Amino acid sequence: MSEPNVFTQAQLNWLPWLPPLPEAELTDRHMAGLVDPSRAKSPYFMLLARDPDILGARTRTDKDIFYNPTAGLPRAERELSAAATSRLNGCIYCASVHSRFATQFSKRGADVERLLAEGVGVDLDERWNAVIAASVALTETPIKFTTADIESLRATGMDDLSISDAIHGAAFFNWANRLMLSLGEAA
Amino acid sequence: MSAVDVIDHLVGIAPGSHLDGLRAQRVQARTNAQTSYLSLFQPDDPHSFSLLERFAVAVFVAELHQQPAIAAFYAEGLAAQPGGAVLAPTIEAEAARGVTHGPYGHFPAGPLSVEDTDGLVFTPGITPGPKLAAALAHAHMLVFHPRDAAAEHLRALEAAGWTVDGIVTLSQLVAFLSFQIRVIVGLRALAAAPAVEAN
């Protein structure tokens, strides 16, 4: 199985470059870090379980940013921020997962596909363009995100909790992309 | 030990403020961003990755992001470690040599190769000891060109004295800081552009 060399919404695998924790070595502390016991089947989470405290905190941060259903940014656009960030950083695996979610929740699979194919300069609509541009500005180093990005997001009708969600979605994928890109590879 | 929420502190979020109210609506994200910080910088057991090394890498990463207040926060942590005050100017000098613009890097060969962008591949010049020097080189890649990461980079860390567990924690530390710094910068912008009350 060769490493994928295009962005895709298809399901990919991820192979670690370091040995994951053997299942037989799992302690209660490791299980607490995994949060969800089914993640003991994932080489990615079993590798990260080598430091269970940061893994557990990372996972709980992730879940609240993306899955908290109370108010704020619709799930589709939280996923769009993750997909755009992953597209810019170049994480083919992360982009595959979160472009699928963006499609699932928005029903705009063709637009999501254009983001993957054309990149973060794609012209979709005002609101999606603003989410993508904000994700790009936050992902660049040094960070280019300013009050102008806040105003662009607000101009699309977003309240401040939604804007905060967009910031957190892009910021979180700057965490996730770096783990997935540097500890293993898509397959 | 630390009661101060680092993100609140570095954004300047006061109790009862508008931003405080927004963060309160994502209490798990808020709490666990802080728990992440504590687990990396006040760990129960730092194992093979010393607090001196952790704060040194953090100062380096914050400096690469050109975020002086965040760098100063981690520099305080570095100065509190034995040997930290002596090491600090070295880390700052290395970061000054490493500053550039990202993300750049290379894709697996194919249609995306047209998007490949070359950039600085950083080699520490004056960092004492191969282990910390290897960590700074790796941190620079993760900050600016993470898509260039390859298995051989992990072999280089191992050759410089990093354990498998240490590499996992090092990767988490640099990746977490990439998140924390962006939340701080993003929320600062939000605080600086308050919505006009509609009433």
pLDDT one-digit tens code per residue, A113-140: 999 999 999 999 999 999 999 999 999 9
Q: Is the ipTM here above 0.95?
A: yes
Domain boundaries, chain B: 48-178
Q: Which of residues 114-153 of A touch B (CB under 8 A)?
A: 119, 138-143, 145-147, 149-151
Q: Does residue A161 share a domain with residue A115?
A: yes
Task: From chain B, pick out residues whose CB is under 8 angstroms from the CB of A43.
Answer: none
Give kind and range of the element (H or E) at residue A16.
strand A14-16
Domain that holds residue A168: 75-174
**Please, are residues A169 and A66 in contact by the beta-carbon 8 Å criterion?**
yes
Q: Does residue A111 share a domain with residue A140?
A: yes
Give kind and range of the element (H or E) at residue A185.
strand A184-186
A92 contacts B103? CB cut-off 8 A: no
Q: Does residue A99 share a domain with residue A54?
A: no
Query: Is the preceding omega at residue A142 within 30 degrees of 0, hence cis?
Result: yes
Q: Does residue A80 share a domain with residue A159?
A: yes
Q: Does residue A162 share a domain with residue A137?
A: yes
B174 contacts A61? CB cut-off 8 A: no
Structural tokens at position A48: 């990260």
**Please, are residues B168 and A47 in contact by the beta-carbon 8 Å criterion?**
yes
**Residues B75, B176: Cα–Cα separation, whole Å:** 17
**Residues B31, A173: Cα–Cα separation, whole Å:** 18
Q: Does residue A79 share a domain with residue A146?
A: yes
Q: Does residue A128 share a domain with residue A93?
A: yes
> What's the pTM?
0.97
* Cα diameter, chain A: 53
Nearest chain B alpha carbon to A70: B25
Q: Does B151 touch chain A (CB under 8 A)?
A: yes
**Tens-digit pLDDT profile for chain B (199 aa)?**
457 999 999 999 999 999 999 999 999 999 999 999 999 999 999 999 999 999 999 999 999 999 999 999 999 999 999 999 999 999 999 999 999 999 999 999 999 999 999 999 999 999 889 999 999 999 999 999 999 999 999 999 999 999 999 999 999 999 999 999 999 999 999 999 977 654 4
Structural tokens at position A119: 């990149």
Q: How many structural domains does chain A have?
A: 2
CATH of the domain at A114: 1.20.1290.10
Domain assignment present for A148: yes
Q: Does residue A83 share a domain with residue A62?
A: no
A17 contacts B172? CB cut-off 8 A: no
**Please, are residues B26 and A65 in contact by the beta-carbon 8 Å criterion?**
yes
Q: Does B196 touch chain A (CB under 8 A)?
A: no
Q: Which CATH architecture has domain B48-178?
A: Up-down Bundle (1.20)
Nearest chain B alpha carbon to A65: B29
Domain assignment present for A169: yes
Q: Is B43 exposed, middle or buried (0-12, 13-18, 19+ CB in 10 A)?
A: middle
